[in-house]
Amino acid sequence: MGSVSAPRNEPAPNTPYFTPIQNPPAGTALSENPPTLFTPLKIRDVTFQNRIWVAPMCMYSADNGHLTDFHLIHLSAFAYRGASLTIIEAASVLPNGRISPEDAGLWSDSQIAPIQRISTFLHSQNQKLGIQLAHAGRKASTCAPWLLERGKAITATEEVGGWPDDVMGASAIRWGEGYAVPREMSRSDIQGVVEGFREAARRAVQAGVDVIEIHGAHGYLISSFLSPISNRRTDEYGGSFENRIRLLVDVVKAVREVIPEGMPLLVRVSSTEWMEKQAQESWDVESTIRLAKLLPGLGVDLLDVSSGGNNEKQAVTPFNNYQVGIAGRIREELYKAGIKDLLIGAVGMITEAEAAKEIVEKGKGDGLVEIEDENGGIAKADVVLVARQFLREPEWVLRVAYRLGIKVQWPSQYDRGRFVKGSKI
């Protein structure tokens, strides 16, 4: 009798240490005809095995902007359990653009290696890594949120590593109680920020990330330029819609110039600052639709639709999936205008399997994705970006698949830990 050759435990390619190859990657549908949530999505040269992404989450745990082993463990936990894209938290492009002294950064070449360590591991698991590039603007130099009463803020002084005298914004308007009063940025400051984004994007590519997102939401620097409430400038960066979006346009152009043609570029915006009842003019959904129509021409591939964060008087009560309807309205208006090359991401307290499935389910023959929102409207999106639910359940992708009755690939080492049939998951 001839001997039977033993199977080889193949190593992951291009990895400086042994770890078994994951092929296909965890989170890949093995069932036939899976729902859209578990079908692949290709953006430029990058293919994602499902439509569930980990949204950026600030951890206030970096060492002078450098990611640490905490971030390696934190981010990897979601990625190797099946999320098709895991996005590193807001990384400031300049030292004074951090939200807190312990925020992540990418203003220095020394910050490349810790990110590269994470990208190497995620790639060894056949998964994708993104990074959100940001500048906090007038919301910079504050203390980590768990040090204070929920919903409160306090300026981080120099004694705790803050920079209260170097906080800057579109205009010299304080965000609210507990925040520093910013200086109105000079043109030199603005150009410094644009260059900061350009250089941070270059470093991100060097660090091996697969996707870059520009943070234009939640009242941080770019968001504050977009809003006529926080931007009272009288130069070419203030006043008209075209002027208020100029900083974002400049940043997008700078980033797109230095990243590979095949790398996806995302932009996150606050689709509304929820101030329609509080001010005569504000940044609203109509403004976002107007902006969205311009983004494909600038090389943006996906609009990540969030909301709020630019004013302490905002009028909104969050609830599950509360921003999904807005994402759908934007998508609908883009399609009406014949614009089909800007993908839409939905985000906002997405916690349940069935809701995630419906958000990205294909429409009736039109290739869109639909969900009926709380107002009876039809929302449309291409991916769901989930944050806090991953903190509760790092294996959320696997749980969603189980709840929906879909067989998906598990990490090879965890295969014997699959959910037992009949379990209440």
Q: Would you name the residues annotated as active-site residues?
A: 220
AA identity, residue 419: F
Angle formed at CA 310 by CA 197 and CA 315, multiple of 5 degrees: 155
Rounded-to-integer distance, Cα 193 and Cα 217, Å: 16
| H/E segment holding residue 216 | strand 211-216
* Count of other CB atoms within 10 angstroms of residue 149: 8
Provide the token pair at 378: 């039809």
Which of 7-40 are b and which e, b meaning 16 or more Cβ less than 10 Å from the residue's Cβ? eeeeebeeeeeeeeebeebbbbbeeeebbbbbee
DSSP string, 24-72: SPTT-B-SSS--GGGS-EEETTEEESSSEEEPP---S--BTTB--HHHH
Angle between helices 187-207 and 112-124 (to 10 degrees): 40
Using DSSP's 3-state secondary structure scheme, residue 213 falls into: strand
Helix H segments across 208-323?
A: 221-226, 241-244, 246-258, 285-292, 295-298
Residue 253 to residue 231: CA distance in whole angstroms:
21
Between vectors from CA 150 to CA 157 and to CA 181, what angle results, nearest 5°? 35
Q: Map tokens 């349940």 to a residue.
A: 352
Query: Which ranges of 126-282 does DSSP label H, i.e. alpha helix?
Result: 187-207, 221-226, 241-244, 246-258
